[in-house]
Amino acid sequence: MQPLQIAILAAGKGKRMHSALPKVLHLLAGKPLLAHVLATARAMNARAICVVDGQGDRVRARFPDADLLWARQDPPRGTGDALRCALGTLPRDGVTLVLFGADPLARAETLREVVEQARTGALSLLTIDLDDPEGYGRVVRTADGRVAAIVEHVDATPAQQTIREVNTGVMAAPTAAFARWLAEIDDRNASGEFFLTDVIALAVRDGVHVATTRPASITEALGVNSRRDLAELERRYQRTQADALLDAGVALADPARIDIRGTLGCGRDVSIDVGCIFEGQVTLGDSVTIGAHCVLRNVAVGIGTAIAPFSHLEDAQIGVQCRIGPYARIRPAVVLADEVHIGNFVEIKASTIGERSKVNHLSYVGDSSVGRDVNVGAGTITCNYDGARKHRTVIEDNVHIGSGTQLVAPVAIGRGATIGAGTTVWKDAPPESLTVNAKTQVARSSWKRPKKG
């Protein structure tokens, strides 16, 4: 079997994006467009992958991967010239597959069909039918259905512009044939560029069969040229993810209002309300419920846990039968044991919370170890930062902390201790005891409230 190599054309400036960011670095589902293409290319088991970039080094800096080859196209002079740059870096034998850095959603299964056609000696194209083919190169066929040429939109006649079958740009051929045809193409066209599509007519001239493959979904072949394109592709991608969840038994309140920017694994009877965002690697156990407008990033959630609306969880491990939110923030390096309650407007950071413990109202717990069956009263904060270093707070099992308490770290609260409301604790509190600050309450009957003059 002939070896495969892949050229990814990514040198376009993306003028229609109206952005200083290279087009292939714009995000789809939380990852750069080029990252999607590279993931698919790697799934093809190619012996070499070459990315053709343009001016500057921003794309190379974003992908410093050791397995990538790079070629520079400067100035950009069209897709034909870009592939010529790539072939100067890639091996000269085998079969070359051409992909585009801003066309992110072709499946490896579809591309393998394109490659297999090329391994028979054909020039193999990926084509689609569009209701509105504006801007795409048209596939011109002979009366008996054979591909004769591809005509770019700007060069197409009125009759050719009515053709709905268009070229996606993805193609494969024996590498030696590509090199031979690219040496013959010119830039005598309306754009003054070297069009890769010109090789089709040369293949026909040489008697080489031009084969076509159609993807299972039009989404596979769509590329990004504008922010409108990117927004449409994002929704198509997300709907595909939502459909897969629905097929797996996940209850989605509205499949049009969910965003998955990574991987989301769900157990049975999971329920997700509207507007939720899942980033990185997220796993939800059986019977987990996620309220509206939550954000979860790199989180594992245990069986039966309920996360109320507008909660934000990041880099955390959540136990079974927990209750979180609404408006809770779980920051990195947090581990919640089973049956923990984290309430509204509570922030937890770099802490472990033991079984059945509760931090229910308007509190901050940071850099802390909290034991079992602890109740943290409303408005409690751990004062963990001295302006230079972070310090830890240790709260042992069965502690009750009254509302409005400040725990000045480093400090430890002994097992079974009670901290009175409004106490500032700066020394270790002994176990099984009440800790309060000595206070005096004074009422001055002669005092007058200031009045606005």
Any residues with CB less than 8 A from the CB of 118 and at least 6 apart, and which?
95, 97, 124, 172, 173, 174, 211
| Of 274, 212, 210, nearest in space to 238 by CA | 274
Q: Which residue in the list 209, 361, 391, 400 is annotated as catalytic?
A: 361
List the Cα angle 365/366/368 in 5-degree steps. 90
Nearest alpha-carbon partner for 23 in 86, 168, 32, 31: 32
What CA–CA distance (Å, rounded) separates 375 from 385?
23
The whole-angstrom distance between residue 45's C-alpha and the CA centroid of its chain comes to 23
Instruction: Give the largest Cα separation in the chain, rounded.
Output: 107
Size (the chain), residues: 453
Establish whether 18 is a catalytic residue.
no
How many Cα atoms within 13 Å fall on the side-chain side of residue 360?
11
Query: What is the token pair recorded at 103?
Result: 């066309």
Other CB atoms within a 10 A radius of the CB of residue 290 amount to: 28
In sequence order, the β-bridge partners of residue 400 are: 375, 418
**Helices (H), ranges, 23-149:** 33-43, 58-62, 79-87, 108-119
Residue 450 phi, psi dihedral angles, 5° rounding: -60, 145
**83 CB-contact burial (10 Å; exposed 0-12 / middle 13-18 / buried 19+):** buried
Q: Output DSSP code: residue 93.
A: S
With beta carbons less than 8 A apart as the criterion, state whether 96 and 211 touch. Answer: no
Residue with tokens 């197409």: 156
Query: How far is 190 from 272, CA to CA, in rounded Å?
Result: 51
Answer yes or no: are the C-beta atoms of 169 and 79 closer than 8 Å: yes
Q: 210, 220, 214, 201: which is closest to 118 by C-alpha?
A: 210
- Strand, helix or coil for residue 266: strand
Cα–Cα distance for residue pair 95/120, rounded to 1 Å: 10
Active site residues: 361
